[in-house]
Amino acid sequence: MTFIAPPQASLRIALIGECMIELQQRSDGELNQSFGGDTLNTAVYLRRLVAAKWQVSYVTALGDDSFSDAMCTAWASEGLDLSLVQRLPGRLPGLYCIQTDAQGERRFLYWRNEAAVRECFTQAAAAQVLTALDDYCVFYLSGVTLAVLGEAGLDRVLPRLIAARARGAKLVFDNNYRPRLWRDRQQATDTYQRLLPHLDLALLTLDDEQALFEEADVESIFKRYRQMGVNEVVIKRGGHSCLLQYHGALHEVAATRVARVIDSTAAGDAFSAAYLACRLQGGIPQQSAAEGHRLAGRVIQYPGAIIAREAMPGSSA
């Protein structure tokens, strides 16, 4: 069974979230500057993987500063549609720093409380964005999206997405739970529950799901999503195999092994992009998971969130 049946000749996909200024601290203390954010990472990789005639739009709010200008230039160079990107006068994007240890594990430092994205759906101009979303077939957002939009923003956008799903659109969610973005765990679980029963595809990181909902084991997670009516659930387990539940059937798909991990930044985002790209183009869940592992395995061999196009799987790199 395909994710969208029948596969459409032309498809519009909207990814909603936040991109930040990314600073990567090298071992010598030098900082390399780029841009990143979970949904933006997924948007870039998805754009590279799906049919060229499909429209992949990024939905966010930025400032009117030079960093925001550079973000838009970079996104346009990747082929992302920017028609739903708001530019808010006097505002700035968020910023984060990645510190990576010898094993490739990451530590993040964030400066994002005043980021423009927090007003993405609360400004007057957001009305046009919300109306435009009615024309999209697939929506992708994450736990970070839920946190940074805030209650007021979610009150405006979630009903729109749920109504679109009732008309046949698909909702895809990556759990990406970041405790520091929430007042407490109860606030996070309450907010997640507003969206979870409406999902068509849940892409879950095991550690995040257990931290958020205090699940005892994988079966408890699968059971909870079955009871909510979510028919397709993927549990990502880092460098280990992922587990799938699809219309009640369980599957396990081995991870791609690599000789050395340089940087695990965006591995989960890349997995989600490749999984969704394969599903949208007619792949079955097991095949899609294999593609997710393949891209994630390539991404962790390079520093930073977004690898060069020539480093993508299937290239000569």
CA angle in degrees (0–180, nearest 5) for 305-38-124: 130
Residue 90 lies in a domain: yes
Specify the pairing of strand 249-253 against strand 242-246.
Answer: antiparallel
pLDDT at 32: 83
Residue 267 lies in a domain: yes
Tokens found for residue 28: 């010598």
Cα gap 135→60, rounded to integer Å: 17
Q: Closest Cα to residue 198, out of 152, 229, 167? A: 229
38 is catalytic: no
| Catalytic hit among 38, 200, 208, 269 | 269
Q: Closest Cα to residue 271, out of 212, 194, 317, 206? A: 206
pLDDT at 317: 47
Q: How buried is residue 211: exposed, middle or buried, by Cβ count under 10 Å (0-12/13-18/19+)?
A: middle
Residue 7 lies in a domain: no
Tokens found for residue 268: 């989960």
pLDDT at 25: 79
Residue 163 contacts residue 192 (beta carbons within 8 Å):
no
pLDDT at 76: 97
Number of domains the chain contains = 1
Total number of residues shown for the chain: 317
Cα gap 265→287, rounded to integer Å: 23
Domain extent, residue 225, equals 12-311
Residue 203 contacts residue 272 (beta carbons within 8 Å):
yes
Q: Closest Cα to residue 4, out of 224, 143, 201? A: 201
Residue 139 lies in a domain: yes
pLDDT at 5: 67
Sheet with 12-16, side-by-side order of all strands: 85-87, 55-62, 12-16, 138-142, 170-174, 201-205, 232-236, 242-246, 249-253
Residue 4 lies in a domain: no
Residue 38 lies in a domain: yes
Residue 3 lies in a domain: no
Kindly report the CATH number assigned to the domain that includes residue 243. 3.40.1190.20
Specify the pairing of strand 106-111 against strand 95-100.
Answer: antiparallel
pLDDT mean values, one per 10 residues, the chain (317 residues): 73 96 79 89 97 96 96 96 96 86 73 86 93 97 97 97 97 96 96 98 97 93 97 96 96 94 92 98 97 97 90 76
Tokens found for residue 191: 């907010």
* Residue showing tokens 């659930």: 233
pLDDT at 7: 64
Task: Answer positive or negative: Cα dihedral of 174, 178, 181, 186.
Answer: positive
Residue 243 lies in a domain: yes
Q: What is the 3-state secondary structure (H, E, C) of the chain?
A: CCCCCCCCCCCEEEEECCCEEEEEECCCCCEEEEEECHHHHHHHHHHHHCCCCCEEEEEEEECCCHHHHHHHHHHHHCCCECCCEEECCCCECCEEEEEECCCCCEEEEEECCCEHHHHCCCCCCHHHHHHHHHHCCEEEEEHHHHHHHHHHHHHHHHHHHHHHHHCCCEEEEECCCCHHHCCCHHHHHHHHHHHHHHCCEEEEEHHHHHHHHCCCCHHHHHHHHHHHCCCEEEEECCCCCEEEEECCEEEEECCCCCCCCCCCCCHHHHHHHHHHHHHHCCCCHHHHHHHHHHHHHHHCCCCCCCCCHHHCCCCCC
pLDDT at 173: 98
